[in-house]
Amino acid sequence: MAEAQVAIPSFELRRLSVKELSAANFENYDHGAFRVAYPGNWQLIGNPNSSLTIYPKGGANSAAVCYGTIISGFTPNSRGKQLDDAMRQLINGIRDTNPGLRPAGNPVNISVGGRAAKSVEMLGTSAIRQNGEPLAERIRLVALQGRGSLVLYMVFVAPDGDFDSMRPTFDRIMRSFTAR
């Protein structure tokens, strides 16, 4: 099991090359609430008591994750259709911290690790600037039921122009995800 690093360094973010985005030699990480495989050449920040951020070198700094995956969990406020309510709360929470994000469609039903899940893609503005202008950003939000009332979620993020080339890596991370 890989040990998670403690802090994301602070530096100017830039668009990464295809070579820098490459994913190799997937390794397993056991969080306690879940298990996941991630590219061994990517950075891993977090521990079994916090969220987990996985990103290629140069893909995140202390202020933003522009390339990578964030995995976390929360307890929704209501108990109606819990996963539907949880997805609404997640979308609203993400939009509160990044008001420029907007859903690119409605949440769809999927399966992650044999469990019912919801997925939605969102569009916004990246912290990466190119020629003085911010790049468009794409986020894929996936939520599924964890233990008890805990809802686990994954946020896959990349500039919109790079998202499709990262999709196979993101999909492999998601397919490896097992909630406990």
Tens digit of each residue's pLDDT (9 = 90 or more) over 88-140? 999 999 888 888 899 999 999 999 999 999 999 999 999 998 888 999 999 99
**What tens digit of pLDDT does each residue of 143-161 get?**
999 888 899 999 999 999 9
All structural domains of the chain? 18-179 (3.40.1000.10)
Q: The whole model's pTM is what? A: 0.90
Helix (H, G, I), strand (E, B) or coil at 126: strand
Which parts of 35-176 fold into alpha helices (H)?
82-97, 160-176
Secondary structure element (H or E) that encloses residue 130, with its range: strand 115-130
